[in-house]
Structure 1
Amino acid sequence: MNSKYINHVCTLCLNLCILCMLNACQSLPSLQGRSVETHIAADIPSSLAYTNASLITQHPGLSGLYPLDDGHEAFAARMALIRAAEHSLDVQYYIWRNDTSGQLLFHELVLAAQRGVQVRLLLDDNNTVGLDKVLTALNQEPNIQIRLFNPFMHRHWRALSYVTDFARLNRRMHNKSITADNQITILGGRNIGDEYFDMGKGTLFVDLDILAIGPIVNQVSNNFDRYWNSASAYDFSRIVHRRNKLQASMPVFKRRSFNYLRADSYGNAYNRDNFINRLLDGSLNYQWAHLILVSDNPDKALPKGKNKSNTSQPTDSLLVAPDTAQSPVIKYEKASLTLNALAASVVEPQKDLLVITPYFVPTQTGLEYLFKLREEGVRVRILTNSLAATDVPAVHSGYVHYRTPLLKEGVEIYELKNQGFLKGPRDRAFTGNSESSLHAKTFTIDGQQLYIGSLNFDPRSARLNTEMGVVIQSPEMAQFMNQAINEALPDVTYQVKLSAQGKLEWLKTNDKNQTRVYHHEPDTSIWQRIWVKMLSWLPLESLL
């Protein structure tokens, strides 16, 4: 019996070794011969160009933005953008689910291509598991080009690739944007998937992005070109070689993950919002402001020895719209270029800093910066996920170390309940109801500036993943966000405080203004808390 068991173990180990060796032999293809492409000019005639021209002329030097804080409207906006495109669509995402929303938007890209629109689709390969057949079908369309960012050569045993190529595959493209005709763009925190559009069962994400026109669009297009032509972007056909029965014209690619009731709900939301007509007749209620695009250089995703950004000037990690004269500086020597670029794009907080982030692991550098702000009398508030609401307990285990030191310095900490919602920058609610998890990444400074983008406040965003977002110089939007959060906090969050004995406690206020005090993380099981405690003992922070 023992000898049979030993034989089985040895066979398994041998098979794993063989798989690892085979995986190691699969090197990335050469980029030689790959075409270098750029976006279309903004002055090419189109319906969107005609509509936007008069609006932009009335607001010289400013960009118009429309906040998308409702999940259904965020989906409708993307569908309308695709349907309104006449010349080009540049699409860049970290996650694209093969669920109802993902298949509907894939279908819209196909229809756009069939009417002559040139579609460039750039996907981070970490989240394309199960999509090879669908992407193969799309890639066969004459007007659709697909590239994979930091691809996995072994398509079936992806985990083994980490054994032989961890330094590269651990770095991901976290950017999210879609741009039509170099005239209008959507960017922010949302990926493509039902949970990001307030649809379906289970956990739904509280998220935020913006639709924008004006000078910011060309900056987003330039940024897309940098990634499309980067050393980490590979033509799909060079990575995936397979025959396929799927056809791009199929309305549904995978019936098991397509819900017809949800599809009807998306259709109803699209018709109700009448978004495409508002895009084309210029009736969207744009808010006009100076926007500054902050984005990583795609070289950040290369392994350290090949990372050109390590030796380049800090301007490589910052794109600044032409309507601003600010230039980047190195303000914090121990911080990444990403955070230095962001710091150079905003004013230093004098009165108030509100940070909203799903994952908060500030590191020692961030801790020292927040301590410095508190010493200068700045009010600092952090809103992040509670253990009950987070979708990544491992990141929560990195966050727990920082709560007590921050509270001792007077930083206010609020954690979203798993059934919370938030008011957005317009007079409506951020998506989030039955089971909610915070996914929006935003902050406001002194009620004057607002950031919206993909950047989490954790080491992964700072050092490993590429990120992008916009700094919005709009007191109106920043102050509305502050007011909305102030009104919502008592209802949708637990406030974390220190007791007289220096122990953590969570305060929950109900609709009758009655407060309940918890002495452990609320709405969680003892096993959840034990698991996070065990994870907190591991040296994981640099990976979080």
Structure 2
Amino acid sequence: MFRALAAALLLFAASGCVGVPDAGSFSKPDSHALTDTGDTRLARAISAAHGDELPQSGFVPLGDGMAAFVARMALIATAERSLDVQYYIWHGDTSGILLVDQLLKAADRGVRVRLLLDDLDTAGKDAFLAQLDAHPNVEVRLYNPFGYRGVRALGFLGDLKRLNHRMHNKSLTADNQATIVGGRNIGNEYFNAVAHITFADLDVLGIGPVVGKVSGMFDLYWNSDMVVPVSGFVGEGDITREGLRAARAGFDRRVDEQLASDYVRAVRESPVLNKLRFVELPVYWGDATLIYDDPEKVYHQKISEDTHLIPKLAPLLNDAGREVLVVSPYFVPGDKMVDFFASLVARGVRVRILTNSLAANDVGLVHAGYMRYREDLIGAGVELYEFKPSPSQVVRNKSWTGSSAASLHAKTMGADGERLFVGSFNLDPRSVALNTEMGVLIDNPTLARQLSRSFEQAVGEQAYQVVLEGGELRWIDTNPEGGPREYDIEPQTTWWQRFAAGALSLVVPERLL
């Protein structure tokens, strides 16, 4: 029995250790963002609302999950020439199915669709993605694909060093005229479409010069050697005309089922549909810098400004004179970052950080890494807050939304009420050194102060402040029913959760987090 198991593991390891397939084994022509889109409906709408020349970038914050979903649907439905779409996760649930349906309808009317997905989340989806790719106006490519197309955990056995690097970027760009970037993947939990859990998240819809920068980044990834067409994993005869017709008919039936869902009914009844018009939306203008990792970051172990995001993000915090705000759901600062925050406090900068509590964190392993640094951060004068799993202010309608549990997923930072960052980047070793990330630095005091107000509301209503009393950690809830309450153990957790996190914190290497 043992020999048979060992042989099976060796087989899986060998099948996983093939590296990124060589470009000579499949057709992968370079392509680039379309620039002749000034006469599109989207371009005309932006021009009518804001003029022909946009010297600065404009941003609309999308903090509400339903608004973020509708904004994506609206951009895809409006596109006439091109859609460039890049995501880490794309679930096959209500939101995922409806967004794919919009992409297919756009392709049916002649829009060129380029869909770039990280391969970690595509297990079992090769056939569907290949059928999508077979549409003459759709091309699907995968970032850093697994050689073994079965269970991803088995693929890791043979090629962990390469496959541990994933593409965490998130962007959707329509007609090279408008883009959505931020922290959300595609899935019901990101759009307030499920009853059991939701993610508190943030995107921005951008227009103006930032859009061309996002398109340029997308092209860099799309044409990278780290990216492979999904057609490279499809055998001859797997895609037939009859099979495609049957697949489209089956998918259309799934779409019809989702259109009858309570969530879609709620979207149709929501005023957000009418608000998502460029004439009515409040747009915040300012200079914007798109920052991102090189798609071939896996081959660059040394952190540098040429290949890594973090050196381009550091000045936002380092140049602060009064206040730094950090919202990072997965927060493992390491000794160097702790020292950095301590140096900011020492020179008079107020540093406040919001991350997930153990009860709210959907990745307990990350919490095990984070908990090592709480005492040092608080001892250095950093104000530390942990997000509650159950928001105190939530509309509960469990037929479609109003979660019984919540998790922080937004990734944003602000400095001095003047500048802010919105993107996919967490302050943890994985975002710094392993995954590729992206985000936008925005110079707009009004938007930055809006972040400050949202932070104040979150830490006042939806978080515990973590403090040190007599050398021991305490969690203070300032907004419970019946007045403030203090805990001497991590609130809303079981003995086992606390034991497991504490044990893991002693043994798990940070480079794996």
Question: 1:10 — aligned with what?
Answer: 3
Deviation for aligned residue 1:265: 1.9
Contact 2:120 2:152 in 1 (8 A): no
Deviating more after overlay: 262-271 vs 396-405: 262-271
Separation (CA, whole Å) in 1 of partners of 2:275 and 2:497 = 48
2:374 corresponds to 1:403: yes
Deviation for aligned residue 1:509: 2.4
Structural mapping, 1:11-410, within 5 Å: 11-24=4-17, 26-32=18-24, 33-41=27-35, 43-57=37-51, 60-241=54-235, 243=238, 245=243, 247=245, 249-250=248-249, 252=251, 260=258, 263-270=261-268, 272-273=270-271, 275=273, 278-279=276-277, 282-300=279-297, 302=298, 304=299, 307=300, 310=302, 314=305, 316-317=306-307, 337-344=308-315, 348-410=319-381
SS at match of 1:457: coil
- The one-letter code matched in structure 2 to 1:249 is R
From the superposition, tell whether residues 168 and 191 of structure 1 become closer, same or farther in structure 2 (CA, over 3 Å).
Answer: same
From the superposition, tell whether residues 101 and 524 of structure 1 become closer, same or farther in structure 2 (CA, over 3 Å).
Answer: same
- The one-letter code matched in structure 2 to 1:139 is D
- The one-letter code matched in structure 1 to 2:267 is A
Question: 2:398 — aligned with what?
Answer: none
Separation (CA, whole Å) in 2 of partners of 1:170 and 1:42 = 38
Deviation for aligned residue 1:528: 0.5
SS at match of 1:389: coil
Question: 1:522 — aligned with what?
Answer: 491
Give deviations 1:308-356, integer Å, cap 9, x for gaps: x859x73x34xxxxxxxxxxxxxxxxxxx42111124677111111101
SS at match of 2:43: helix
Separation (CA, whole Å) in 2 of partners of 1:408 and 1:344 = 24
Query: Which of 434, 446, 452 in structure 2 is aligned with 1:464?
Result: 434
From the superposition, tell whether residues 49 and 59 of structure 1 become closer, same or farther in structure 2 (CA, over 3 Å).
Answer: closer
Question: 1:333 — aligned with what?
Answer: none
Percent identity for Structure 1 against Structure 2 = 42
Aligned-residue RMSD, C-alpha? 2.5
- The one-letter code matched in structure 1 to 2:270 is R
Contact 1:98 1:131 in 2 (8 A): no
Separation (CA, whole Å) in 2 of partners of 1:277 and 1:490 = 28
Deviation for aligned residue 1:193: 0.2
Contact 1:125 1:150 in 2 (8 A): yes
Contact 1:56 1:62 in 2 (8 A): no
Deviation for aligned residue 1:203: 2.0
SS at match of 1:535: helix
- The one-letter code matched in structure 2 to 1:398 is G
Deviation for aligned residue 1:278: 4.4
Deviation for aligned residue 1:29: 2.6
From the superposition, tell whether residues 274 and 514 of structure 1 become closer, same or farther in structure 2 (CA, over 3 Å).
Answer: closer
Question: 2:477 — aligned with what?
Answer: 508
Contact 2:267 2:273 in 1 (8 A): no
Question: 2:397 — aligned with what?
Answer: none
From the superposition, tell whether residues 254 and 23 of structure 1 become closer, same or farther in structure 2 (CA, over 3 Å).
Answer: farther
- The one-letter code matched in structure 2 to 1:298 is P
Contact 1:84 1:276 in 2 (8 A): no
Separation (CA, whole Å) in 2 of partners of 1:539 and 1:464 = 16
- The one-letter code matched in structure 2 to 1:31 is A
SS at match of 2:181: strand
Contact 2:20 2:144 in 1 (8 A): no
2:444 corresponds to 1:450: no
From the superposition, tell whether residues 274 and 338 of structure 1 become closer, same or farther in structure 2 (CA, over 3 Å).
Answer: closer
SS at match of 1:103: helix
TM-score (norm 1): 0.86
Deviation for aligned residue 1:64: 1.3
Give deviations 1:209-229, integer Å, cap 9, x for gaps: 011110100000001000000
SS at match of 1:104: helix
Contact 1:94 1:123 in 2 (8 A): yes
From the superposition, tell whether residues 17 and 76 of structure 1 become closer, same or farther in structure 2 (CA, over 3 Å).
Answer: same
TM-score (norm 2): 0.91
Contact 2:20 2:226 in 1 (8 A): no
Structural mapping, 1:483-494, within 5 Å: 483-494=453-464
Deviating more after overlay: 236-245 vs 521-530: 236-245
Deviation for aligned residue 1:497: 0.5
Query: Which of 383, 386, 389 in structure 2 is aligned with 1:415?
Result: 386
Structure 1: gaps spanning 5 or more residues: 1-7, 318-336, 424-430
Structural mapping, 1:430-449, within 5 Å: 433-449=403-419
Deviation for aligned residue 1:378: 0.7
Separation (CA, whole Å) in 2 of partners of 1:126 and 1:52 = 36
Separation (CA, whole Å) in 2 of partners of 1:228 and 1:243 = 24
Contact 1:246 1:253 in 2 (8 A): no
- The one-letter code matched in structure 1 to 2:449 is Q
- The one-letter code matched in structure 2 to 1:269 is V
From the superposition, tell whether residues 59 and 182 of structure 1 become closer, same or farther in structure 2 (CA, over 3 Å).
Answer: closer
From the superposition, tell whether residues 512 and 155 of structure 1 become closer, same or farther in structure 2 (CA, over 3 Å).
Answer: closer
From the superposition, tell whether residues 463 and 44 of structure 1 become closer, same or farther in structure 2 (CA, over 3 Å).
Answer: same
Question: 1:324 — aligned with what?
Answer: none
SS at match of 1:298: coil
Separation (CA, whole Å) in 2 of partners of 1:276 and 1:127 = 34
From the superposition, tell whether residues 278 and 439 of structure 1 become closer, same or farther in structure 2 (CA, over 3 Å).
Answer: closer
Contact 2:15 2:147 in 1 (8 A): no
Contact 1:28 1:153 in 2 (8 A): yes
Deviation for aligned residue 1:55: 4.2
SS at match of 1:383: strand
From the superposition, tell whether residues 18 and 203 of structure 1 become closer, same or farther in structure 2 (CA, over 3 Å).
Answer: same
Contact 2:118 2:142 in 1 (8 A): yes
Deviation for aligned residue 1:127: 0.8
Contact 1:421 1:436 in 2 (8 A): no
SS at match of 1:537: helix
